């Protein structure tokens, strides 16, 4: 608990940190993208590839970000500056990415609130996807109501972040994340017991290794990176509130696994129901706002399931949005010496204002195009997720692997009979000291992590970057 302006806030418990960090990772992508990608790319085979990449890239970068944050006890920019002054600009990429992403993420969060209201009022009374598609298009293209709900979502995010770490983010994450799991499991039970649900389960989980190719691996790699929100400073910021006795390797493994668990459960919640009622699975907003309302209209107890699902989607959106806002707030508090209240109010207002053109770009301003002929929302999305996030991930890997100091040290020994023996040993640098709590934790995978962060992670993310920007 923060007792003064100079004393940094900390998580009240390990569980609180895990729930908040997992909440940051769990977002709408788990609900509307992962199930579709898995089904289209070999089902269980894709999941297996995803899990391998989750360890190689997800675990590696997750631990790097948390270690940097806890070591520095500062925001994303300040953390880089403390370790190497001329690398502060890398943290700026993360702060800017978080700011931009929240501006349009809040708009989509507003759509979810609107559809929660619709579900509760029984508006999903048709299974005609054409009618539901028109309903969705008419809503998001209007000028007033989407901005109204965007404001409600931002106020919700603001209300949590302004409470600080223990009394805000941690408190509500410990409520929302367990609730999310409970609701998700209940929806899964309803979905998999429908007549015809098995076809959807097979679509999602049946391994088809013949579909595994370079494109599938690239899709899994991109999904791991973007699902965990790596490269935007969220985990650096959350890591800065960790105590020095926290087990970073353990937490870095648990968080991605929780994120993946939610994605798998989401697939079992959505796809069996979609197939049971003869609908075609899709990715993106169309799944949440068109296909699923059609499913709920035909499902026994569909109104109740629909309300539960959109509550679940709202929790997933909010747990991510509070981490995005906290990245920006933490920067203003640390660097500009603003109070948390001032930082939260002003930054939230700026994000809300930027979100207005994003919202209007779906309707009155749809004729305005920016990057590669995309509208305002899609352009902001492209800049943040296809450019800033991968660049942040690449430079994080380089920074931790080559600048902070992870290396193998050559040792030369002379034996009694005059022979020279050369060995290579893992140097006990600041990075290794941080992840092992100054040697108190036996981290047997340290040499593997060193190799991954130095070589594999930057190359893999570089491929994602090239594909995302130039494909």
Residues 204-248 have pLDDT tens digits of 999 999 989 988 898 899 899 888 978 899 999 999 999 999 999
Q: Is 227 exposed, middle or buried (0-12, 13-18, 19+ CB in 10 A)?
A: buried
Is residue 328 within 8 A of residue 232, CB to CB? The reply is no
Rounded CA gap, 294 and 337, in Å? 50
Residues 392-408 have pLDDT tens digits of 999 999 999 888 865 55
Model's pTM, two decimal places?
Answer: 0.94
Residues 392-449 have pLDDT tens digits of 999 999 999 888 865 556 677 777 787 887 776 655 577 888 999 988 998 888 888 9
Whether pLDDT at 2 is above 50: no
CA 157 and chain centroid, separation: 16
Domains parsed from the chain with CATH numbers: 14-402+428-470 (1.10.4160)
For 171, residues 6+ apart whose C-beta sits below 8 A from its C-beta are: 16, 163
Rounded CA gap, 356 and 359, in Å? 5
Instruction: Give φ, ψ of 113 to 5 degrees.
Output: -60, -45
């Amino acid at each position: 608990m923060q007792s003064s302006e100079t004393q940094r806030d900390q998580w009240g418990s390990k569980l609180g940190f895990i729930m908040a960090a997992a909440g940051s990772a769990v977002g709408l992508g788990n609900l509307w993208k992962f199930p579709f990608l898995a089904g289209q790319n070999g089902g269980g085979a894709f999941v297996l590839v995803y899990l391998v990449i989750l360890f190689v890239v997800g675990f590696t970068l997750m631990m790097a970000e948390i270690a940097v944050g806890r070591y520095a006890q500062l925001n994303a920019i300040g953390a880089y500056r403390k370790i190497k002054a001329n690398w502060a600009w890398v943290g700026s990429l993360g702060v800017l990415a978080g700011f931009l992403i929240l501006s349009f993420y809040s708009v989509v969060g507003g759509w979810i609130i609107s559809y929660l209201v619709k579900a509760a009022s029984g508006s999903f009374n048709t299974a005609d996807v054409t009618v539901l598609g028109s309903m969705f298009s008419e809503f998001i293209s209007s000028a007033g109501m989407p901005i109204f709900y965007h404001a409600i979502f931002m106020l919700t995010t603001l209300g949590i972040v302004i409470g600080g770490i223990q009394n805000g983010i941690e408190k509500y994450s410990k409520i929302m994340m367990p609730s999310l799991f409970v609701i998700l499991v209940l929806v899964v039970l309803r979905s998999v017991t429908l007549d015809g649900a098995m076809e959807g389960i097979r679509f999602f989980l049946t391994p088809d290794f013949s579909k595994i190719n370079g494109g599938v691996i690239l899709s899994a790699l991109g999904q791991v990176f973007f699902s965990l929100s790596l490269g935007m400073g969220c985990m650096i910021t959350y890591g800065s509130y960790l105590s020095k006795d926290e087990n970073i390797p353990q937490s870095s493994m648990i968080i991605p696994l929780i994120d993946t668990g939610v994605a798998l459960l989401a697939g079992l919640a959505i796809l069996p129901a979609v197939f049971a009622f003869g609908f075609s699975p899709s990715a993106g907003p169309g799944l949440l706002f068109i296909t699923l309302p059609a499913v709920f209209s035909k499902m026994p107890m569909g109104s109740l399931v629909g309300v539960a699902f959109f509550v679940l989607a709202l929790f997933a959106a909010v747990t991510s949005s509070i981490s995005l806002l906290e990245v920006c707030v933490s920067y203003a508090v640390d660097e500009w010496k603003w109070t948390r209240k001032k930082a939260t109010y002003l930054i939230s207002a700026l994000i809300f204002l930027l979100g207005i053109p994003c919202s209007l770009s779906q309707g009155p301003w749809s004729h305005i195009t920016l990057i590669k002929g995309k509208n305002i929302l899609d352009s902001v999305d492209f800049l943040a997720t296809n450019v800033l996030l991968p660049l942040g991930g690449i430079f994080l890997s380089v920074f931790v692997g080559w600048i902070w100091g992870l290396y193998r040290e050559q040792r030369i020994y002379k034996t009694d009979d005059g022979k020279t023996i050369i060995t290579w040993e893992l140097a006990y640098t600041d990075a290794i000291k941080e992840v092992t709590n100054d040697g108190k934790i036996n981290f047997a995978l340290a040499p593997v992590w060193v190799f991954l962060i130095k070589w594999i992670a930057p190359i893999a993310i570089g491929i994602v970057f090239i594909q995302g920007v130039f494909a």
